[in-house]
Every structure is written in C-alpha cells, then in structure tokens.
Amino acid sequence: MRKIGKVKTGWKLPILPLPVCLLGAHVKGKPNFNTIVWFNMLHGNPPLIGVTMSKMHYTNQGIKENKSFSINIPTSEMVVVTDYCGLHSGSKVDKSKEFTLFYGELKTAPMIKECGINIECRLVNTIDFKKTELFIGEIVEIYSDDNYVKEESPDVKDFDSFIFLMPNGPYQKIGDYLAESYEVGTSYKPKK
C-alpha cells in the first residue's frame, strides 16, 4: 500500500463523485427542470429522498406551491441538455420543451421519459437553512426504463448514467464492476 499523506484543506467543497438528477416541478402551472447533485436517499420505510437547493432557484417556488417534485436520472447521452438545465433558470427560459413529459399519481410532478429512472415525490418536510432549503420528499412511485428491470442484478452499463465530480466537475461515466456488495466482505480476515 502507498504511504498515505494528509493535507488539511479547511472548509471547501470536498472532492466527491455524486449522481446527477433533473429535478422536475410545476412552477406557476408550467413544468420546469433544474440540475441537482445534492440529493440522496434518506430513509427506506417510509422511503424518503432529500434535496438541497438554493432559495434563489425558480423551481423551489413550484415545489412549495404544489408540495410535489420528481427526480429524473439522465442517461449519458443527455449530458448536454442536463448541463443546460443547470445553466439557465426557468424564470427566463422554457426548459420543459426539451423533453417528452409524463405524469403519475401526482399531477404536478412532471417526469422525463428520456431519463432512465423517474422518482415521483410528495413533499413531506422542508428544512430552512439561510440560503438554501432541504426538501424532503416521500416516494410515491418509481418508473424505471424496462431495460433495467431484470431477474438478475442490473448491469451498471445498461444503466448508462453519469456522475458529477464535486466541486467543479467534470461529468464522468460510471466506472467498471468492482465486487459483489454484502458478499465480498465475508471473505475479509480482520486484523489480529
């Protein structure tokens, strides 16, 4: 193993690969999408997702107005339009016309057909920070590309999504297979 050195960096965003989503909401009766990397599963039962967004974003208004939003995971061929949605505000451009939309049970959580996974969420809590807010959504339904739904575990290559390397990118395709989870550790020999 290489000799590991450590450097204190003080507070700045750490280098961390994060999944990317297009978050959808209706704002003033119209679908809008923005690009978000600060989101994660928070709980399994009930199934909760948390999303942290700057209060300046147009989409926030819609989430609060309708108490609903969607998380759409773009495929790697959608990288350009995904970046576009993170560069322009729905207060100035109509981003909804870039996608084929569909709806589930909640009529105000627009979802993107071209994305591999769509997660329909009902807003259950909002935590207010000074400049941002953390929206907590309960998952109402998940729509998956039929390519992904198989008897065996999904192959990450079928998934064909991408990650964002915080703090400033780039976007990267998801890498190679490494090992079976909840299994590979069973062969580990703890140190004496």
Query: Which residues neighbour 146 within 8 Å (Cβ) at sequence distance 6 or greater?
Result: none
- Quote the CA–CA distance of 140 and 122 in Å, as a whole number: 7
Cβ(21)–Cβ(49) under 8 Å? no
Q: Which is nearer to ligand FMN, 16 or 184 (CB)?
A: 16
Q: Which of 98, 141 has the CB closer to ligand FMN? A: 98
Give 6 or 131: the residue with its C-beta nearer to ligand FMN: 131
Q: Whose CB is nearest to ligand FMN?
A: 86
What are the residues whose beta carbons fall under 8 Å from the beta carbon of 15, sequence distance 6 or more? Answer: 165, 166, 167
Among residues 83 and 141, whose Cβ is nearest to ligand FMN? 83
Considering the complex, state which of residue 35 and residue 72 has its C-beta at the smaller distance from ligand FMN. Answer: 35
d(CA 126, CA 135): 5
CB of 153 to ligand FMN, least distance (A): 28
C-beta of 96: minimal distance to ligand FMN in Å? 10
Based on CB atoms, which residue is closest to ligand FMN, 60 or 118?
Answer: 60
Nearest to 61 by CA among 86, 27, 93, 36: 27
Q: How far is the CB of 94 from ligand FMN (least distance, A)?
A: 10
Please state whether beta strands 68-73 and 39-44 pair in parallel, antiparallel, or not at all (unpaired): unpaired
CB 58, min distance to ligand FMN, A: 3
Closest distance of CB 150 from ligand FMN, Å: 30
Name the residues that contact ligand FMN, by CB under 6 A: 32, 34-38, 52-54, 57-59, 83, 86, 88-91, 164
Compute the least distance from the CB of residue 59 to ligand FMN, in Å.
3
CA 147, chain centre distance (Å) = 19
Q: Which residues of 113-128 are buried (b: 16+ CB within 10 A; e: fewer)?
A: ebbbbbbbbbbeeeee
- Rounded Cα gap, residues 157 and 150, in angstroms: 13
